[in-house]
Amino acid sequence: MPGKANILICIDKRPAHARTACSPNWQRSDGADYAGLLTFFVALPEGGSMDLRFQPLRALGLILSLALPGAVPAQTANDQVHEHTWTASLTADGQPNLQGDWTNDTYTPLERPAALGDRALYTDEEAAAFVKSRTDRLNGQAANDIHYDDAIWQAEKYDKIADRRTSLIVEPKNGRLPPLTEQGEERLKQQRATQRANPAAAGAPSRSLAERCISWGNVGPPMVPPTYNANMQIIQAKDVVILLHEMMHDTRFIYLDGRAHPPANVQWLAGHSVGKWEGQTLVVDTTNFTPKTNFRGSPANTRQDIFATEHMHVVERFTPTAENAIHYAFTVEDAATWTTPWSGEMDIRRVAGPLYEYACHEGNFGLANILRATQLARK
């Protein structure tokens, strides 16, 4: 009959390396075949989390909108349905190979500008214009801005890539951090009241972890790229994945040997990470943080004044999508800081190595001069 559509929807939850497209030769239970039907292959995320529990319904809506004449689906950053057709090479231990030198460098801010509302994606033209505006700003540094020559200091051997995402955060839908809890608000007030409130530095502990060359915060998790040196090397062995970050020479271990997290009173700035493979995806669970951990990405893109607590829990997913690309997604929850969990995603791309040591302590004249000037001022 006119307008009638026979549709077969094939939903595959198997590991990516085992997936195949729907076959028109598949047999129905009544013995008939599916030849002539309009077929769609939907590859669900492997090991889908609670945040993705409605993905089949979203996929169905997209499919129906494509099948109906004149229909145009509304697209958001985390509603895109992809067919996984690429299979990663394997290490000698039989694991998907993530090894190499990578960057998560981007101009995309952690939080979406409020003026964009729930708009998750730029057009291609808007994304290119956004990157150009930020690059022009970098190269157009005022002559009297003498802190650094940013165009030299922050330059890399590779270019920034235009990304259609308007924010790294994809949940909540407005692309912004959730409201703080009452506890979080109280801590924020205290942080703002004490952060550099006293210009007379009593000693090194009175300065930030970044100024002291201890941690920039970009190691995470979640990994929020810094202003520059947003590079990392991934090394794999049978029972561990190692992330070596250029900034600030931090090394993070993800244990794959089945060990449990240690007791809650054992804490690290970057937490304690254990992982497992779900098909081609490395799923990493991290707890045991300290209350000194803040989310310090690029100061131009990321708030510097929010600290989580030792109750924070982060789940990350590293999925290779091409020889030179990894899709990175994460979910953060801390009931003592935010009213709801929040999630984000970004692309990690391969770059030419090697990574060089970021000798922060050896070149940290700023901290020594701050403390020296303070002591001289007291005489």
Can you give the C-alpha Rg of the chain in angstroms?
Answer: 24
Angle at 275 between CA 271 and CA 279, to 5 degrees: 150
Contacts with 252 (C-beta within 8 Å, 6 or more apart), sequence order:
219, 242, 243, 244, 245, 270, 273
Each residue's pLDDT tens digit, 66-120 = 444 443 344 444 444 344 568 999 999 999 999 999 999 999 999 999 999 999 9
Mean pLDDT of the region 6-23: 41
Total domain count, the chain: 2
Q: Does the residue 317 lie in any domain?
A: yes
Domain around 356: 100-121+165-373
* 92 lies in some domain: no
Specify the pLDDT at position 223. Answer: 92
- Do both 306 and 358 map to the same domain? yes
Cα–Cα distance, 250 to 270 (Å, whole number): 9
pTM, rounded to two decimals: 0.76
Query: Does 255 lie in the same domain as 185?
Result: yes
Q: Cβ distance 303 to 333 under 8 Å?
A: no
Q: Per-residue pLDDT for 220 more than 70? A: yes
Nearest to 305 by CA among 130, 154, 132, 185: 185
Q: Is 273 in contact with 279 (CB distance < 8 Å)?
A: no
Strands 7-12, 100-103: pairing is unpaired
User: Would 267 be classed as within a structural domain?
Assistant: yes
CA distance 73 to 157: 38
Residue 235 belongs to a domain: yes
199 belongs to a structural domain = yes
Instruction: Compute how many other C-beta atoms are within 10 angstroms of the C-beta atom of residue 362.
Output: 9
Same domain, 59 and 171: no
Helix (H, G, I), strand (E, B) or coil at 5: coil
Cβ atoms 283, 317 nearer than 8 A = yes
Tell me if 74 is assigned to some domain. no
| Percentage, residues of the chain above pLDDT 90 | 45
Q: What is the pLDDT of residue 206?
A: 74
27, 169: one domain: no
**The tokens of 217 are what?**
């915060």
Tell whether 193 and 51 lie within a shared domain.
no
Residues 313, 358, single domain; the answer is: yes
Q: Dihedral angle at the C-alpha atoms of 199, 200, 203, 204, nearest 10 degrees?
A: 20
- Position with higher pLDDT, 328 vs 85: 328
State the Cα–Cα distance between residues 36 and 38, nearest whole angstrom.
7
H/E segment holding residue 374:
helix 365-377
Question: Which range has the worst mean pLDDT, 32-41, 98-107, 168-177?
Answer: 32-41
Given a cut of 90, whether residue 22 has pLDDT beyond it is: no
Question: Which tokens go with 68?
Answer: 């109906």
In a domain, 352, yes or no: yes
Angle ∠(353,160,84) on CA atoms, nearest 5: 80
Looking at the fold, whether 180 and 59 belong to one and the same domain comes out as no
Q: Is residue 198 part of a domain?
A: yes
DSSP 165: B
Is residue 217 over pLDDT 90?
no
Burial class (CB in 10 A: 0-12, 13-18, 19+), 98: buried
- The answer to whether residue 312 scores a pLDDT higher than 80 is yes
Model confidence over 248-285: pLDDT tens digits? 888 999 999 999 999 999 999 899 999 999 999 999 99
Both 169 and 272 in a single domain?
yes
Instruction: Tell me what pLDDT residue 19 has.
Output: 38
CA distance 160 to 257: 37
One domain, residues 104 and 28: no
Task: Assign 303 a pLDDT band (cuts: 50, 70, 90).
Answer: low
379 touches 232 (CB < 8 A): no
Do 317 and 259 share a structural domain?
Answer: yes
**Identity of residue 362:** E
How far apart are the C-alpha atoms of 273 and 314, rounded to whole Å?
Answer: 9
The full DSSP string for 302-348 is: S-SS-B--TT-EEEEEEEEEETTEEEEEEEEE-TTTBSS-EEEEEEE
200 and 273 part of one domain: yes
Do 44 and 181 fall within a single domain?
no
